């Protein structure tokens, strides 16, 4: 139920952090990290996942296949 940021590709530009409606993004060791427990893939908030929309590096903010996709509670 989450996006993840591929750390080796992250430039640490910080554009994603303030955009997350769930405050799921924080900085660690110069790059940014999404808390998979908080990420709702922006469902219920925005049409586009915000971190993905603003990330300047292609294929860096991606669906984390280690987790099931987020489902909006009924």
Binding residues for other proteins, rule: CB under 8 A, are 11-15, 19, 46-48, 50, 52-54, 56-57
Backbone phi, psi, residue 8, to 5°: -70, -20
Cβ 29 to other proteins, closest distance in Å? 14
The two beta strands, 3-5 and 25-28, are unpaired
Q: Which is nearer to other proteins, 44 or 56 (CB)?
A: 56
With contact defined as beta carbons under 8 Å apart, do 17 and 55 qualify?
Answer: no
Q: Which is nearer to other proteins, 6 or 46 (CB)?
A: 46
With contact defined as beta carbons under 8 Å apart, do 19 and 51 qualify?
Answer: yes
Q: Which is nearer to other proteins, 62 or 67 (CB)?
A: 62
């Amino acid at each position: 139920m989450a996006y993840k940021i591929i750390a080796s590709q992250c430039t640490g530009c910080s554009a994603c952090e303030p955009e997350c409606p769930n405050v799921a993004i924080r900085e660690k060791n110069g790059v940014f990290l999404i808390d998979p427990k908080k990420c709702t893939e922006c469902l219920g908030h925005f049409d586009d996942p915000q971190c993905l929309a603003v990330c300047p590096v292609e294929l860096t903010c991606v669906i984390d296949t280690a987790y099931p996709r987020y489902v909006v509670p009924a």
